[in-house]
Amino acid sequence: MRILCLLVAALMLTGCGTSRTLYVPRVVPPLDSGLAAPCPEIPDPPQAPASYDDWQVWVQDQVLVAYGVCAARHRAMVEAWPKL
């Protein structure tokens, strides 16, 4: 009977020893307001008859630049979020 009482007491003490920590809310820094700006509009492509070179210049100078601006904002917003 004495062994059983010691076993119960030991089990009760180990249950209290492994309790979880309390929830501590994270402080999230405010984001830059420029990150919430809409992505730039892509201008219309060159009108026909347009050569391949015209299309390539349009893609390089307009589409890829607009995509780069939007991708940079997205990456900055993801990196601003605190890691767990």
Length reported for the chain: 84
Q: Are 31 and 77 in contact (CB under 8 A)?
A: yes
Burial class (CB in 10 A: 0-12, 13-18, 19+), 58: middle
The span from the CA of 46 to the CA of 52, in Å, is 10
pTM, two decimal places: 0.56
The span from the CA of 84 to the CA of 81, in Å, is 9
pLDDT digits (tens, 9 = 90+) for 41-80: 998 888 887 899 999 999 999 999 999 999 999 998 888 7
